[in-house]
Amino acid sequence: MRNYYIAGNWKMHKTRSEAADLARALVSSLKDGKHKYLVAPSFTALETVGALVKGTNIRLGAQNMAAEEQGAHTGEVSVLQLKDLGVQTVILGHSERRHVYKEDDALINRKVKLALKHGLEAILCIGELLEEREAGKAEQVCETQTVKGLEGVAASDLANIVIAYEPVWAIGTGKTATPEDADAIHAYVRKVVGKLYGADAAEKIIIQYGGSVKPENASLLMAKENIDGALVGGAALKAETFVPIALFA
């Protein structure tokens, strides 16, 4: 039985004091929550938030990391630095990294393997653009991103892999894939994992949905057989919208 996993990606929002206020509210509100939880603040707030969620049922996540352990990489943040701050999970391959900052599958794959090497959980984001969906290529795009993102990843490391399906056209737009559309892609990606690692691995892997998840639609999405949680963007920035998603029944 897969456990629901609700994650909040705060993106480039919140000063340290604002992040601390939100973290305190979530620690208080989610302390009796039955699901798995994560918050991913900006790099500048990781230490602040990390101190507040340490020892609670909320994991500390980072929104990205460099593909190298250390070195002359101006402006990058390394896996060693993240671990030093208590980061447990890193979000990789988010559509904004792919399409705004031009990260390709090979680079994302290097990051995934580096995170796993250092014992971090990796949330691998996949998802198609609107034109790709309209061209009937949604499954093909998601399969390619999954296969290339997991290239060289051992079956023994899959316990530290989460996949997040985020249709790019639904992120921050207010548009949401219908629960049926989302579940169909989740089911397809699960089959892809099955082809790579076997049926047992496919059954166990957590696949989150991301893309305008709100308190109003969370329960409908989570009710679907292949949707195992959410990677929440805008609604994660306020306790009053994130908590109802995190505590959905």
The SS3 call for residue 48 is helix
From 103, 143, 166, 186, the catalytic residue: 166
Q: Name residue, tokens 């509100």.
A: 29
What single-letter amino acid sits at 62?
A
> Rounded CA gap, 93 and 105, in Å?
8
Helices and strands counted in the chain (H then E): 11, 8
- Token output for 192: 């892809």
The SS3 call for residue 151 is coil
From 35, 94, 103, 121, the catalytic residue: 94
166 is catalytic: yes
- Token output for 120: 């971090």
Picking from 92, 68, 100, the residue whose alpha carbon sits closest to that of residue 81 is 68
13 is catalytic: no
Instruction: Tell me if 162 sits within 8 A of 124, measured CB to CB.
Output: yes
Give the residue numbers marked as catalytic: 94, 166
